[in-house]
Amino acid sequence: MAEGSGRKRTTSEPRLHGEMLATSLLAFLKGCNAYGYQLTQQLSDSGLPQSDSGTVYRALRQLEGSGFVSSFWDTSDQGPARRMYSLTAAGELFLRTWIEALNRYQEVLTGALAGFDTTLASEDEGTEEETP
């Protein structure tokens, strides 16, 4: 159906990306700080559509560029260094604003499925199926 963007030519299930990926990451960071690899796994366990790890890393860098998260290198534990992210005040504000817009969006969708009978002036009918 031509989703968000990017290379879609191959196979597979839908992937999480774009604003929905970005806001999901912000939501996870509201709970506690985290790093990219961890967030990728949390997304996998969340019941949301899967998302590519490369896309997650790039989304985090973009969120940082927008000032919605901040990061620092964490070398306290063993293993490769981790870039830890935390939510900023601007990021939390953005998340709240987004949720409000999301509520309107959900009203539109569920309102449609509710089968509202307010037909709103639709007397179109009896038309043919041709292309000129």
Partner DNA sequence: GCAGCTACATGCAACTTGCAGATTGCGTGT
Partner DNA sequence: ACACGCAATCTGCAAGTTGCATGTAGCTGC
Binding residues for DNA (CB under 7 A): 2-12, 15-18, 21, 35-38, 51-55, 57-62, 77-84
Q: Helix, strand, or coil here: 71? A: strand
Q: Which two tokens stand for residue 48?
A: 């949301």
What span, in angstroms and rounded, lies between the C-alpha atoms of 114 and 1? 24
Residue 89 contact among a copy of itself, DNA, none, beta carbon within 5 to 8 Å by kind = none
What span, in angstroms and rounded, lies between the C-alpha atoms of 73 and 6? 30
Q: Is 85 a residue that touches a copy of itself (CB under 8 A)?
A: no
What span, in angstroms and rounded, lies between the C-alpha atoms of 24 and 49? 11
Residue 66 contact among DNA, a copy of itself, none, beta carbon within 5 to 8 Å by kind = a copy of itself
Contacts of 115 (CB under 8 A, 6+ apart): none
Pick one of 51, 68, 79, 93: the residue that binds a copy of itself (CB under 8 A): 68
Residues between 103 and 122 with contacts to a copy of itself, criterion CB under 8 A: 104-106, 108-113, 116, 118-120, 122
Say if residues 59 and 71 touch (Cβ distance below 8 Å): no
Q: How far is the CB of 79 from a copy of itself (least distance, A)?
A: 14
The gap from C-alpha 85 to its chain's centroid, in whole angstroms, comes to 17
Where do contacts with a copy of itself occur on this chain (CB under 8 A)?
1-6, 17-20, 22-24, 26-28, 30-33, 45-49, 59, 62-63, 65-66, 68, 72-76, 81, 84, 94-96, 98-99, 101-102, 104-106, 108-113, 116, 118-120, 122-124, 126-132
